[in-house]
Every structure is written in C-alpha cells, then in structure tokens.
Amino acid sequence: MINLKNKRILVTGGNGFLGSFVVRKLKERGCKNIFIPRSKDYDLVQMAAVKKLYKDARPDIVIHLAAKVGGIGANRDNPGKFFYDNLMMGVQLIEVGRLKKIEKFVAMGTICAYPKFTPVSFREEDLWCGYPEETNAPYGLAKKMLLVQSQAYRQQYGFNSIFLLPVNLYGPGDNFDPVSSHVIPALIKKCIDALRKKKNSITVWGTGKPTREFLYVADAAEGIILATEKYNKSEPVNLGAGFEISIKDLVKLIAKLTGFKGKIIWDKSKPDGQPRRCLDTSRAAKEFGFKAKTKFEKGLAQTIEWYKRLVC
C-alpha cells in the first residue's frame, strides 16, 4: 500500500467535477503536496505543455482526470476533437511520466469503451469483444488506448500505471450545460426550468428504453484514491454502483424528486445510445476494497438541492 500523505501528487482535471472530489479526499488523507494545473496554463494536448507541467509539478504520482467529455449530443457533434484531445493528453502524460520515472500513473477510462452489445453485467474481460456504441466510440476508443499503453509500458519498462473504468457519474457540481451535459444533470435542468417557467411538459431524447448505471461522484473519488493506494496491476478495473435503471424510470424519479408533474414527451428521432449499461464491480471490491455507499435516490436528491441553490 502506498502512503499518499507525503507524496507529490499531480491531479489533472483537479478543478473539475470529479477532480474536486478527488482533491478533497486526498486532503482528508493528509496530502499537502497536490498540484492542480489549469487548462489556461497547460494545454495538455501539446507535448511542450506536458513537459512543462512535469517540470513544474515534479510529481511522484499522477492521477489523470482531465478529459474532453459530454453526453450523446456532444459526442455526436465532436467525434474528431474528442478522439484527438483525449488520446493526445493521455498518451503524452503517460510517456513523459515514464521518462521522468514517476512512482505511479492512474489513468481514467470510460464505460463508453465497452462494446455496444456487452453482456450485463459488464466484466472487464468483455472490453475487447466488440466495437463501442457509435455515437461515443471515438471518445471511448481514445480512452481505451491508454489501457493498451499502460499494459505495454508495464511489460516493456516496468512502469506502474493502472486503468480504471468509471460508470456515468453524477452529483453536486456536475455539468448542467444543455449542450454538453450528461443525462442526469440534463433532466434535472429540464424539470427545474419547466417549474420555474411554469411549463407543463418537457421533451426527452430517445425512447426511454435503454438502461444506465450511475455512480455518485464522492463514491467514485473514494474508489480512485483506494486504487491509487492499493492497486498495482495493469488489468482494467470497473468503478460502479452495481445497478441499472431505465431512462424512462430515471425521468420519472427525477420528476418526482424535483416536483415536476407535467407531461413527458419522448423525441424518438434522437438517439438512445448504448442499449444497456451495468458494471460488474467485483474486481474493485476484491483488489482494493471499493464498494459504492451512496443510495441512488439520496444522491439524486443532494444533486437536485445543489442545483436549486445554484439557480434559484
């Protein structure tokens, strides 16, 4: 087990949604040497900026959370940018980390890396059994290449890097921009906006039939820290809550929790995305003792209250 307290830790994306919770967890463990780069100072798509970052931060451990990411719409509109930016950030950070002989690199994958039709619950062994869902395949494959790099670098150079596969996250501080947000913040915003503007209906993408799994952001942060402390293998590890809910039931639940009682209109001309998503989380429990603790309805209620305070 790595004692993180006296390590110099670089957290890319440390000011972001997930990153802010990871940094908070590190501080709770007594970590004082945490370097959080800002995108305006370090464009991690550029190798020169990556080298400068390592020179400035001098890390023992890198937790790479920075990503260009969004929901179905954002992925559909930016396939090239999402592929290139995510690939170049990760590949270059790992390569320079190897050259600098850092102690450990923690890479974030994505559930979007799994094949479109994967047996539920998704097991890490199924990762290569098909092509990802088309709307987010470029993003998912860019992230998946970091697993290939991690395993190749461990094999050839003995480089200690790990690869985690978090499911869709949600919680206070999420991205509520309707252009790029994921499904939970998008639905919360639709319901709250409808209530504020006294509208009697909301429109939701797709058919409502697909299922999704959601992990509360604070739980995800704890899983990442536990893996950083305890896990030192190149086999990928799922981070999830181990349940699935249909989008139709999710809409009903968010409507109930927000108090929206109007009509829900399904725009079936819009894509559904991957048919089902639910992770097998047994490897995380076995390897580093991670198990999600936050009940879904409680986490949703906390997210809704946070958003209400933000806009009301």
Active-site residue numbers? Answer: 139
Give how far Cα 206 sits from Cα of 119, 183, 184, 248, Å. Answer: 22, 11, 14, 10
DSSP 8-state class, residue 216:
E
- What backbone torsions phi and psi does residue 251 show, to the nearest 5 degrees? -60, -45
Say if residues 146 and 177 touch (Cβ distance below 8 Å): no
Determine the Cα–Cα distance for residues 258 and 305; give it in Å rounded to an integer.
Answer: 9
Residue 259: left (phi > 0), alpha (psi -120 to 50), or beta?
Answer: left
Cα angle at 218 between 142 and 56, to 5 degrees?
Answer: 60
Determine the Cα–Cα distance for residues 51 and 56; give it in Å rounded to an integer.
Answer: 9
Give the DSSP letter string of 291-307.
---S-HHHHHHHHHHHH
The residue type at 301: A
